[in-house]
Chains A and B, each alone.
Chain A
Amino acid sequence: MTAVNSILVYGGSLDGWMAAALLARSLPLTVTVLDTQPQESGVEATLPAITGFHHRLGLNERALIDNGIATPTLATHYRASDSWVPFEAPGFTLDGLPFHHYAVYGHLNGRLEAAFDAFSLPAQAARRQRYHPQSNDAGSLLATLNSGLQLDRDRYRSVIMALAKELGVHRRTGALLKVERAGDDVESLLLEDGERLSAELFVDADGALMSDAQKEQTERLASAEGFAVERLVAPQTEVACPCTRVTQREEGWELERGTAACVERLRLGAEDSPSEFGRYCPTPWMGNTLAVGQAAGELEAFVTGPLHWLQTAVVRLLDAFPASTDWRATRAEYNRRTLLEWRDRQAFFELHLYLAAHSQGASDVWRQRWHKVDNPELLRWLTLFQTAGLVASRELQALPDALRVSLLLGHQLWPQACDPQVSAREPAAVAHELAKMRQMIDRAATQLPPYP
Chain B
Amino acid sequence: MNTANRTHHWIIVGGGTAGWMAAAAFSAKLDASEHRITLIESDAIGTVGVGEATVPHLRYFNQVLGIDERDFMRETQATYKLGIEFVDWGHVGDRYLHPFGVYGEPAHQVGFFQSWLKARSLGDKAPLEAYAPGAVMARHERFAYPGSSAHPFSRKYSYAFHIDASRYARFLRRYAEARGVVRIEGKVSDVQRSSVTGDIQQLTLDSGERLWGDGFIDCSGFRAVLHGQTLGVGFENWSQWLPCDRAVAIPSASQSAPRPYTRAIAHAAGWRWQIPLQHRTGNGVVYCSEHMSADQATRKLLESMDGEPLAEPNHLQFTTGVRSKSWSHNSVAIGLSAGFLEPLESTSIYLIQSAIMNFLECLPRGEENAVEALRNEFNRRMALEYERVRDFLILHYTLTTRDDSAFWHRMRTLERPHSLERKIALFREQGQVEHYELGMFLEPSWLAVYEGQGLLPERWHPAADRAAEGALLASLRRFREETARWVDTLPGHDHCLTQLGMEADEAPWPPAAMSLYGVFS
Residue positions of A touching B, CB distance < 8 A: 4, 26-29, 56, 96, 318-324, 326-330, 332-333, 337, 380, 383-384, 387-390, 392-393, 395-396, 416-421, 423-424
- Tell whether, in the assembled complex, residue A396 and residue B429 are in contact, meaning their CB atoms are under 8 Å apart: no
Min CB distance, A285 to chain B, in Å?
14
- Residue interface bits B358-398, CB-to-A below 8 A is 1, else 0: 00111101110111011011001100000000000000000
Min CB distance, A96 to chain B, in Å?
7
- Tell whether, in the assembled complex, residue A321 and residue B374 are in contact, meaning their CB atoms are under 8 Å apart: no
Min CB distance, B339 to chain A, in Å?
19
On chain A, the residues within 8 Å of B374 by CB distance are 384, 388, 390
Min CB distance, B374 to chain A, in Å?
5
Min CB distance, B435 to chain A, in Å?
7
In the bound assembly, the distance between CA atoms of A408 and B90 in angstroms comes to 52
A28 in contact with B466 given A321-B461, A387-B369, A388-B366 (CB within 8 Å): yes
In the bound assembly, the distance between CA atoms of A395 and B381 in angstroms comes to 11
On chain B, the residues within 8 Å of A337 by CB distance are 435
On chain A, the residues within 8 Å of B436 by CB distance are 395-396
Q: Provide a sorted-by-A list of 5 A–B residue pairs whose CB atoms are within 8 angstroms.
A: A323-B462, A327-B430, A328-B425, A383-B373, A393-B381
Q: Which one of A26, A328, A383, A389 lies within 8 Å of B109 (CB-CB)?
A: A26
On chain A, the residues within 8 Å of B366 by CB distance are 387-388, 416-417
- Tell whether, in the assembled complex, residue B369 and residue A330 are in contact, meaning their CB atoms are under 8 Å apart: no
Interface residues of B in 272-303 (CB under 8 A from A): none
B29 within 8 A of A: yes
- Residue interface bits B401-434, CB-to-A below 8 A is 1, else 0: 0000000000000000000001001101110101
Interface residues of B in 422-456 (CB under 8 A from A): 422, 425-426, 428-430, 432, 434-438
A328 in contact with B367 given A56-B109, A392-B377, A396-B436 (CB within 8 Å): no
B64 within 8 A of A: yes
A333 in contact with B434 given A29-B462, A323-B462, A417-B370 (CB within 8 Å): yes
B503 within 8 A of A: no
Interface residues of B in 448-476 (CB under 8 A from A): 459-463, 465-466
A396 in contact with B109 given A29-B462, A330-B430, A420-B363 (CB within 8 Å): no
A330 in contact with B462 given A419-B363, A421-B30 (CB within 8 Å): no
B506 within 8 A of A: no
On chain A, the residues within 8 Å of B462 by CB distance are 4, 27-29, 321, 323
B312 within 8 A of A: no
On chain B, the residues within 8 Å of A387 by CB distance are 366-367, 369-370, 373
On chain B, the residues within 8 Å of A330 by CB distance are 426, 429-430, 432
Q: Which one of A318, A328, A424 lies within 8 Å of B30 (CB-CB)?
A: A424
B34 within 8 A of A: yes
B209 within 8 A of A: no
On chain A, the residues within 8 Å of B369 by CB distance are 383, 387
- Tell whether, in the assembled complex, residue B463 and residue A320 are in contact, meaning their CB atoms are under 8 Å apart: no
Most A-side CB within 10 Å, residue of B363, B432, B460, B462: B462
On chain B, the residues within 8 Å of A333 by CB distance are 422, 426, 432, 434-435
Most B-side CB within 10 Å, residue of A319, A384, A388: A388
- Tell whether, in the assembled complex, residue B463 and residue A420 are in contact, meaning their CB atoms are under 8 Å apart: no
Chain B minimum-CB-distance residue to A392:
B377
Interface residues of B in 10-43 (CB under 8 A from A): 29-31, 33-34
In the bound assembly, the distance between CA atoms of A332 and B426 in angstroms comes to 9
Chain A minimum-CB-distance residue to B462:
A323
Chain B minimum-CB-distance residue to A337:
B435
In the bound assembly, the distance between CA atoms of A279 and B209 in angstroms comes to 65
Q: Which one of B109, B373, B377 lies within 8 Å of A318 (CB-CB)?
A: B109
On chain B, the residues within 8 Å of A396 by CB distance are 435-437
On chain B, the residues within 8 Å of A29 by CB distance are 462
- Tell whether, in the assembled complex, residue A384 and residue B373 are in contact, meaning their CB atoms are under 8 Å apart: yes
- Tell whether, in the assembled complex, residue B29 and residue A327 are in contact, meaning their CB atoms are under 8 Å apart: no
Min CB distance, A331 to chain B, in Å?
9
On chain B, the residues within 8 Å of A329 by CB distance are 422, 425-426, 428-429
- Tell whether, in the assembled complex, residue B463 and residue A321 are in contact, meaning their CB atoms are under 8 Å apart: yes
- Tell whether, in the assembled complex, residue B373 and residue A26 are in contact, meaning their CB atoms are under 8 Å apart: no
- Tell whether, in the assembled complex, residue B361 and residue A419 are in contact, meaning their CB atoms are under 8 Å apart: yes
- Tell whether, in the assembled complex, residue A390 and residue B361 are in contact, meaning their CB atoms are under 8 Å apart: yes
Q: Which one of B363, B373, B438 lies within 8 Å of A380 (CB-CB)?
A: B373
On chain B, the residues within 8 Å of A419 by CB distance are 361, 363, 365
- Tell whether, in the assembled complex, residue A421 and residue B360 are in contact, meaning their CB atoms are under 8 Å apart: yes
Chain A minimum-CB-distance residue to B111:
A319
A326 in contact with B429 given A390-B377, A416-B367, A417-B370 (CB within 8 Å): yes
- 9 tightest A-B contacts by CB? A417-B366, A424-B31, A387-B370, A395-B437, A388-B370, A384-B373, A329-B425, A417-B365, A329-B426
Min CB distance, B425 to chain A, in Å?
4
- Residue interface bits B50-83, CB-to-A below 8 A is 1, else 0: 0000000000000010000000000000000000
- Tell whether, in the assembled complex, residue A328 and residue B429 are in contact, meaning their CB atoms are under 8 Å apart: yes
In the bound assembly, the distance between CA atoms of A29 and B465 in angstroms comes to 10
In the bound assembly, the distance between CA atoms of A383 and B376 in angstroms comes to 11
On chain B, the residues within 8 Å of A319 by CB distance are 432, 435
Most B-side CB within 10 Å, residue of A96, A326, A387, A395: A387
Min CB distance, A309 to chain B, in Å?
17
On chain A, the residues within 8 Å of B426 by CB distance are 329-330, 332-333
Most A-side CB within 10 Å, residue of B109, B361, B373: B373
In the bound assembly, the distance between CA atoms of A406 and B474 in angstroms comes to 50
In the bound assembly, the distance between CA atoms of A362 and B34 in angstroms comes to 41
In the bound assembly, the distance between CA atoms of A392 and B29 in angstroms comes to 21
- Residue interface bits B80-114, CB-to-A below 8 A is 1, else 0: 00000000000000000000000000001100000
